[in-house]
Chains A and B, each alone.
Chain A
Amino acid sequence: MNCRSEVLEVTVEARQVEEAMLALLHTILLHRSTGKFHYKKEGTYSIGTVGTMDIDCDFIDFSFVRVSSEELDRVIRRAVSEFKDALGNSGSDGMGQISLEFYQKKKSRWPFSDECIPWEVWSIKVNVVNLANEQERQICREKVGEKLGEKVINVVEVINRHEYLPKMPTQSEVDNVFDTSLKDVQPYLYKITYQITDSLGTSVSTTMRRLIKDTLAL
């Protein structure tokens, strides 16, 4: 099975990085999260309800919808914050890329560790610019808002092609497909990683893996 790969590219000011990443990552996760599964006897299961909430950006003329889950929001914010700090530390006019990868676990026999097989990867390329004056910043607010809108439409277009999705698992297999660690929603298993490219265009040393609590714990 081939992994589906999508690339989104945005150009933002340094102070807009966080909100732009949150907007796109949350939009993708909204579509890739279900309610909590409750398995009952006789092989049936029921699905909980996913709530949504509107978020207004402070530095961008944009609003987006995310899943109503504070836990999930905290995890995403932490990852985005690390990415933002890494981008900031790399020097001015930094470029970077944050990736959201959905994967399935395939159990292997001992002594081999479980395999993680990605089935969808979203890469968001970020180009940070510095602006000279307030007027330019105001224009940037609006322009980035429009661009993010276009990216949301791109995301929706890809998702609504209804291409490969992991099959719904039995109770014993559910942790191989979904992240069941959250109390209120259940996203597909995912991991967020990022890369920073310095202004010279060379790929810098650190590629940090940001893992969700126990997904890769043996």
Chain B
Amino acid sequence: MDSDLSPQDKKDLDKFIKFFALKTVQVIVQARLGEKICTRSSSSPTGSDWFNLAIKDIPEVTHEAKKALAGQLPGIGRSMCVEISLKTSEGDSMELETWCLEMNEKCDKDIKVSYTVYNRLSVLLKSLLAITRVTPAYKLSRKQGHDYVILYRIYFGEVQLNGLGEGFQTVRVGVVGTPVGTVTLSCAYRTNLAFMSNRQFERSAPIMGIIVDHFVDPPCGVQRPANVGHPCNYRAPDEDDGGLFAGVQDSQEVCTTSFSTSPPSQVGRTGCVTPQYSVASASLGDDDGMSQSGEGRSVSPSDPVESLNAFTRKIGAFVNKPTTQMTAANLDLPFAAFAPRGLDSEENDPMVQPPDSPACPSPLQASLHSQGSESSGQQDDFVMRPAFSKDDLLPMDLGTFYREFQNPPQLASLSLHISSQSMADDLDSLPEKLALYEKNIDEFDAFVDMLQ
């Protein structure tokens, strides 16, 4: 048997490895966006779902991955790595994990490229989906937003694990043998999160500007230092850079999967059916290819914004409120909620200013006030007809009594006149009051004795 790859097999294998690398990056970054991912199954094959898996392509991520690969493929000594790190709002950063797609020299010459390798790569991607939810960084990424963000960085070449701290663990996602080497996918993750545990992520004044645009690299702008990552979030592209990322890259290829089963008479060794897989793939250089595959694409030219918006990160609470808006609830005071509010909000405070009663009493009121008691200005929210309520002791019935005292005047201590004296003043006057009480302590003692 000819152990060298046929040209078609070699071409297919290169394509599989390239798209496997791109999909690997997509799965990893999407798993660190901080949101639950959901894609739909489709019984009819679409032209763009590589490895028969519905994995969306975030154009920015594909762009970064292709930039890192620079036309090369992962090979022996050339690994593709995705580094996930955490950056706090104060600017501290820490590497959390590094995912490595490597190739070693162990070849499997007999394996069928167009069928077995393809299916095993599909299984490996599924394993990656499962494992990305299991490493510690997943939980951290689900809670990102207010205090920290998760960044990713793609690089090609030698694997760098120095930033993971001491005692990092490795988990192997899986391996797939091919005629040119064995593809291995693994993750090294930090276990020493001491930096995290020492910091108290206090929910203090919200931090402006950390979200969304803060870390995104302008497409044609300043070169970022190589070790700074990209945020694991996505925003819809601006007008300016929309043209760069939106839609389809001209070199992206369509995967039209078509498998064949050879009739039993033409079978291989064991008498079972040995399917032969033939993949038809077309590049998107021409318009026909674009329109054909348009409807099936996971990111079609017609709705890039829609699919991109699906990845917009939720903004943490309180982020957009102006810092000057400090309510009494934020002050570290006991019973702060009961403190008189600021003047501006008191105008709308129904506790301080009860709703105005209608000037004329309703006919219903008139009929209930048989005793002729004061009824003007009362507003009836409901009609109360208390049963057996007539009482000889009181000159009025229960219903009248209820209505009369339904809206009592506000306590003096809660009224506007006192609002100018803030809680702080109250606290300041406490020492004086305490001194006075101490002076009169004998009187208090006598009072207590009297009660007993």
Contact = CB atoms under 8 A, between A and B. Distances in A.
Interface string B123-158: 110110111011000110010000000000000000
Interface in B210-257: 257
Given A45-B261, A48-B43, 19 more contacts: A31-B127, A35-B42, A35-B43, A36-B43, A38-B44, A43-B260, A45-B260, A46-B45, A48-B52, A49-B41, A49-B45, A50-B54, A63-B142, A64-B133, A68-B40, A152-B131, A159-B123, A167-B272, A185-B41
B174 interface: yes
Interface stretch (A7-15, A92-100, A168-176, A194-202): A168-176
Contact of B44 (A39, A42, A48, A67): A48
Contact of B130 (A30, A39, A69): A30
Contacts of A167: 272-275
Interface stretch (B31-39, B78-86, B374-382, B391-399): B31-39
Contacts of A168: 115, 259, 261, 273, 275
A155 to B, nearest CB: 8
For the complex of A and B, list the 3 residue pairs with the smallest distance between their C-beta atoms, beginning with the closest. A160-B174, A54-B36, A51-B39
B136 to A, nearest CB: 9
Contacts of A89: none
A51 B40 contact: yes
Interface centre among A35, A44, A56 (most CB of B within 10 A): A35
B257 A152 contact: no
A39 B129 CA distance: 28
B41 A63 contact: no
Contacts of B45: 35, 38, 46-49
A185 B40 CA distance: 11
B53 interface: yes
B120 interface: yes
B175 interface: yes
Contacts of A46: 45, 257-259
Interface residues of B, number: 49
B172 interface: yes
A171 B139 CA distance: 44
Contacts of A171: 261
Which secondary structure characterizes the binding site on chain B? mixed
Contacts of A34: 52
Given A44-B260, A45-B260, A50 B52 contact: yes
A117 to B, nearest CB: 13
Contacts, number: 152
A30 B126 CA distance: 7
Interface residues of A, number: 48
Contacts of B123: 31, 159-160, 162
A31 B133 contact: no
B333 to A, nearest CB: 30
B71 interface: no
Contacts of A40: 258
6 contacts: A46-B45, A50-B41, A51-B54, A64-B130, A67-B41, A162-B123
B192 to A, nearest CB: 16
A153 B131 contact: yes
A160 B129 contact: no
B262 interface: yes
Contacts of A169: 261, 273
Contacts of B7: none
Nearest to A156: B127
A136 interface: no
Contacts of A47: 45, 52, 257, 259
A144 to B, nearest CB: 13
Contacts of B263: 43, 170
A58 B398 CA distance: 51
A183 to B, nearest CB: 6
B41 A156 contact: no
Given A31-B127, A167-B273, A168-B273, A49 B46 contact: yes
A48 B41 contact: yes
A27 interface: yes
A114 interface: no
Contacts of B120: 162
A42 B174 CA distance: 35
A120 interface: no
B133 to A, nearest CB: 5
A65 B130 contact: yes
Interface centre among B173, B175, B261, B275 (most CB of A within 10 A): B261
Interface centre among A38, A45, A49 (most CB of B within 10 A): A49
B373 interface: no
B49 interface: yes
Interface centre among B41, B42, B44, B263 (most CB of A within 10 A): B41
B309 interface: no
A49 B126 contact: no
Interface in A149-168: 149, 152-153, 155-157, 159-160, 162, 167-168
